[in-house]
Amino acid sequence: MRFPYSETVLEHFRHPHNVGKIENADGKATEGSPACGDMVSVYINVDPKSKTISNIKFESYGCASNIATGSIITELAKGKTLDEAKKITWKQASDALGGLPKIKAHCSVLAVEGLRSAIENYEERHGLVKEKRPTTVEIVQKRLRKVMNPLTGLDLVRTNLVKDIEVKDGVVRVVVNLPQANQFAPAIKEEILEKIEPLWDVKKATVEFTE
Amino acid sequence: MLNKPIYLDNAAATRLDERVLEAMKPYFFDNYAVATSEFAYSQGIEAGEALEKAREALAAALGATSEEFIFTSGSTESSNIALKGVALGDKKGKHIIVSKIEDFPVLNSARALEKQGFKVTYLDVDGEGFVNLDQLREAISEETLLVSIQHANQEIGTIQDIAAIGKICREKGILFHTDATHTFTRLPLDVRKIAVDLVTVSAHTIHGPKGIGGLYIRKGTKIAKWMDGGFQEFNLRGGMENIPGAVGFVKAVELVTPEENKQLQAMRDRIIDRILAEIPDTTLNGHRQKRVPQNANLTFHFVEGESVTLHLDMHGFAVNTGSACFSRSLESSHVIMGIGGDHERAHGSIRFTFGRYNTIEEVDAVVQTLTEVIPQLRSISPLGKEEGER
């Protein structure tokens, strides 16, 4: 076989760990959607005293790297405190898997986000978060850090692809430093909208390319 | 795991037939001369004769005469010449019509021309991939130069009514190009019966060599010189001719029989019938009958195509998917989206294309494997479960 996947990735793909859902989950979240290609649901049970993850499961509608990352991230998070688990990065997951192809970063980052969102969901449900903050350029930028640049496997912000962000009266405008004709332009645009549109006070989001 | 890998991606490339290689061999080892003028040396004259004989045979397979057929490096080049050559060579108008589900050589040639100032209409197709003839008629204007609509689709196999399309174009005095990469020798196509002016063909889909294709250009069609160099290919495409390729192309065409096409169709029908009957939540992409004999394309809902192809590969099967995760651009299949499918339908779509070396037993083997792999992937998928189950 000549796949760009490590043996560890293939092993987790073939036999993923912690698959399924938890009926009485204390926190749960779904990241991605069929439209962006991949979707991950993460379910957690939390020990109320120690605030550690006592049980964790995931479901994946996705490609091999998505499934493998779901498997490894749930392994990494099990038994950790919420604060520890929140800090698990895509890099750590990728390293534990023996590396992931750059172009697949966007598929695998969803599992990491899924874990963080499930923890946030738990915190929201248990009154552990502050109230809603209005969307700012900083918040948009933070979200864009979750959109991968398939050319490098790093996020858009880090690779200087975000040329401009404008937030005005609930309308968000993102300018991407790529020509419209770039092969990844449509996929990137879709992913940006996917991240910005769900913000509670955003009425409209647009993505523009240079040229 | 089976002993031998089973290749079910024959629309992408095919295994060379040994008989094709045998036919080509003399032009690598015995007579490897360039085709010369008839006033040069014997080997060159003979090489030239072999090339012209090949041209005549391929032209005849389309019902054309030899001066209407040029050799190219394959279907990508042929379609590039058809669109850009006409656009540059015929100054009649600045408008081109293509369908939305054309293969990339046509689609991206059209996009490139758009950047040069041409206007391009991308025709919608219906749920099975058919172009609407009324919409085609409406799209044609005074400015229209060329219509390019494929004979059959590369992903879902849908066969367009090129006779009717040709008739419309002819009535309006507009050139008509069709990409016949997936139909040449598999379906009849006679340029004396169908009003088509340019036809793209290739050897790589019919167990011929890679790197050789052809373009039928109806006599009188104005077309700009494509490749500067010598005066080869009627002064349209300079460069040394691929004589072994041309000879191999002819042999590949000769080897396709009506019986073989029936066998391919039997495999196609069996895989479609079995999957639809045995695996729930599956959808056929394209038309049940009006599709090329070698193509089946089905969506397995709630699973992602790359996961399916990877599992199938581990079991020894090579298939293709319209999933974004599989593609280099991370974009879902424009064909499945074009027939009104959503991303989910594209992501779960798997294309099976058959060739001479496949058997009914292999069809049964891949269906058997799918009956194991699909439920396995669905069991870990958050999609497709009733609310009560979640």
Per-residue pLDDT of B234-279, as tens digits, reads: 999 999 999 999 999 999 999 999 999 999 999 999 999 999 999 9
Q: Is A77 exposed, middle or buried (0-12, 13-18, 19+ CB in 10 A)?
A: buried
Q: Give the residue numbers spanning the domain of A169.
A: 137-210
The pLDDT of residue A174 is above 80: yes
Give the Cα separation of A181 and A159 in Å (integer).
19
Q: Are B205 and B181 in contact (CB under 8 A)?
A: yes
Catalytic residue ranges of B: 325
Higher pLDDT, B323 or A118: A118
Query: How many domains is chain B partitioned into structurally?
Result: 2
User: Are residues A32 and A116 both part of a single domain?
Assistant: yes
Residue at B83 is within a domain: yes
In this predicted structure, the answer to whether residue B331 has a pLDDT above a threshold of 80 is no
A52: tokens are 């550690």
Average pLDDT over residues B170-189: 97
Parent domain of B110: 31-255
Q: How many helices (H) and strands (E) does chain B have?
A: 15, 13
Strands annotated E in B230-375:
282-284, 295-300, 317-318, 320-321, 349-353
Whole-number Å distance between alpha carbons of A15 and B174: 58
Same domain? For B266 and B137 the reply is: no
pLDDT-derived band at B327 (thresholds 50, 70, 90) equals low
CB–CB contact B303 A40 (8 Å): no
Structure-model confidence comparison of residues A102 and A175, the more confident one? A175
- Span B341-364, average pLDDT: 94
**pLDDT tens digit sequence for A50-93:** 999 999 999 999 888 899 999 999 999 999 999 999 999 988 99
Q: What is the pLDDT of residue B354?
A: 98
Number of domain units in chain A:
2
Bridge partners of B146, per DSSP, are B96, B175
Torsion sign, CA atoms A179, A180, A183, A189? positive
Residue A203, in any domain of the structure:
yes
Would you state the pLDDT for residue B282? Answer: 97
Question: What's the gap in Å between the CA of A197 and the closest CA on chain B?
Answer: 18
| Torsion angle, alpha carbons of A184, A188, A189, A191, to 10 | 150
- B313 contacts A184? CB cut-off 8 A: no
A175-184, A193-202, B266-275, B314-323, range with greatest mean pLDDT: B266-275
Average pLDDT over residues B182-189: 98
Instruction: Please list, in sequence order, all residues whose beta carbon lies within 8 angstroms of the beta carbon of residue B146, skipping any fewer than 6 positions away.
Output: B82, B83, B86, B87, B90, B96, B97, B174, B175, B176, B177
Domain boundary among B255, B273, B308: B255
Q: B319 is written with which tokens?
A: 């298939």
pLDDT digits (tens, 9 = 90+) for A115-155: 999 998 898 888 776 667 788 888 888 888 877 777 766 77
* Chain A contacts to B (CB-CB under 8 A): 1, 3, 13-14, 16, 19-21, 30, 34-41, 59-64, 66-67, 103-104, 106-107, 150, 183-184, 186-187
CB contact under 8 A, B380 and A60: yes
How would residue B390 be classed by pLDDT, with cut points 50, 70 and 90?
very low
Residues of B in contact with A38 (CB under 8 A): 304, 325
pLDDT over threshold 80, residue A42: yes
- pLDDT score, position A149: 75
pLDDT digits (tens, 9 = 90+) for B60-71: 999 999 999 999
Are B323 and A183 within 8 A, CB to CB? no
**Residues B212 and B317 occupy one common structural domain:** no
Tell me the pLDDT tens digit for each residue of B159-176.
999 999 999 999 999 999
Question: Which of A189, A179, A116 is CA-nearest to residue A147?
Answer: A189
ipTM metric: 0.81
Query: Quick check: is B390 in a domain?
Result: no
Reported as a pLDDT band with limits 50, 70 and 90, residue B343 is confident
Across A40-57, average pLDDT: 95
* Residue B224: inside a domain: yes
Domain assignment present for A130:
no
- Over 60: is that where the pLDDT of A1 sits? no
Whether residues B214 and B282 fall in one domain: no
Average pLDDT, chain B: 94
Whether residues A63 and A83 fall in one domain = yes
A93 neighbors A138 (Cβ within 8 angstroms): no
> What is the least distance, in Å, from the CA of A126 to any CA of chain B?
22
Question: Does B327 reach chain A within 8 Å, measured CB to CB?
Answer: no
Instruction: State which of B255, B284, B317 marks the end of a domain.
Output: B255
User: In this structure, what CATH number is given to the domain that contains residue B330?
Assistant: 3.90.1150.10
pLDDT given at position B363: 98
**Nearest to B260, CA basis, from B293, B291, B287:** B293
Confidence of residue B330 (pLDDT cuts 50, 70, 90): low
Look at residue B388 and tell me whether its pLDDT is greater than 70. Answer: no
More confident residue, B121 or A144: B121
Percentage of chain B modeled with pLDDT above 90: 88
* pLDDT surpasses 50 at B213: yes
What was the pLDDT predicted at B3?
Answer: 64
Report chain B's C-alpha Rg in angstroms.
22
Instruction: Give the per-residue pLDDT at A194.
Output: 78
Residue holding tokens 């790529």?
Answer: A178
Confidence (pLDDT) at B389: 43
**A105 and A204 part of one domain:** no
Supply the pTM of this predicted model.
Answer: 0.88
* CATH number for the domain that contains residue B137: 3.40.640.10
